[in-house]
């Protein structure tokens, strides 16, 4: 499969997001799933998938530290699109994590907190799959700038599919408004990028859209989309 992905990388760059999704569903059937944190991009991808295929797999990494608005949106997604979100949890509850690593690990060592609550659960989930679909865009962070629409994920050892890798934020919001796609209401309160409550704040005028993530540190990624194995 890795060789086929390499051959497809260049031609796939000309495919529409719907074409990419159709290819993913046709080739991997029930062994591919959309990973979503239900940001604006994620909601667009879910809406597109619902137009391509009536039934599809959708999972989220539930850190148990998400905003109430995010959990409310997850309920809306299940109702509107008729899917059951597969909620992937850390092996340690928040209480167990605090006992093992002390209080507020996200302040002292955010990389370790993300590893425990996101990266390890993702690795476990991807072990069930042959491919996964993400809503990352190249212009979001430096780590995502080289993302292809179809690529081999060296870190997790399966096919990674990024249907809207070449989209802009403006295209994302145009799709949301034109198709009446539900979205996280925190976006209306200056939260362009939404993660856990402890590590996400609203951004101020003139700041980078991801300035509200891990504010005050050099961290820009939770580790899911960093290429190193």
Residues noted as catalytic: 222
Enclosing H/E stretch for 160: strand 158-161
Indicate if the alpha-carbon torsion angle 116, 31, 128, 50 is positive or negative: positive
Residues 6+ apart with CB under 8 A from 165: 136, 137, 138, 144, 147, 148, 149
Q: How far apart are CA 117 and CA 203, in angstroms?
A: 24
DSSP notation for 53-116: -SS-EEEEE--S-B-HHHHHHHHHHHHHH----EEE--SS-HHHHHHHH-S-HHHH-HHHHHII
Question: What is each CA distance from 24 to 15, 126, 149, 161, 220, in whole angstroms?
Answer: 12, 15, 11, 8, 28
| Long-range CB contacts for residues 212-215, cutoff 8 Å, separation at least 24 | 214/110
| Residue with tokens 């700038």, as numbered in its chain | 145
């Amino acid at each position: 499969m890795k060789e086929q992905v390499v051959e497809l990388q260049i031609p796939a760059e000309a495919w529409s997001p719907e074409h990419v999704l159709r290819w993913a569903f046709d080739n991997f059937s029930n062994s591919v799933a959309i990973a979503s944190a239900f940001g604006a991009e994620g909601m667009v991808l879910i809406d597109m998938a619902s137009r391509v295929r009536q039934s599809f797999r959708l999972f989220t990494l539930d850190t148990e530290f998400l905003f109430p608005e995010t959990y409310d949106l997850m309920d809306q997604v299940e109702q509107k699109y008729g899917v059951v979100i597969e909620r992937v949890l850390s092996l340690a509850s928040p209480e167990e994590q605090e006992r093992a690593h002390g209080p507020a690990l996200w302040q002292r060592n955010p990389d370790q907190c993300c590893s425990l609550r996101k990266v390890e659960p993702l690795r476990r989930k991807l072990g069930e799959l042959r491919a996964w679909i993400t809503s990352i865009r190249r212009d979001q962070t430096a780590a995502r700038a080289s993302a292809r629409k179809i690529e081999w994920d060296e870190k997790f050892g399966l096919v990674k599919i990024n249907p809207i890798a070449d989209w802009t934020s403006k295209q994302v919001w145009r799709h949301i408004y034109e198709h009446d796609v539900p979205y996280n209401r925190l976006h209306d309160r200056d939260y362009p990028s939404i993660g856990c409550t402890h590590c996400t704040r609203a951004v101020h005028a003139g700041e980078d859209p991801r300035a509200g993530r891990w504010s005050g540190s050099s961290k820009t990624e939770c580790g899911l989309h960093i290429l190193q194995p």
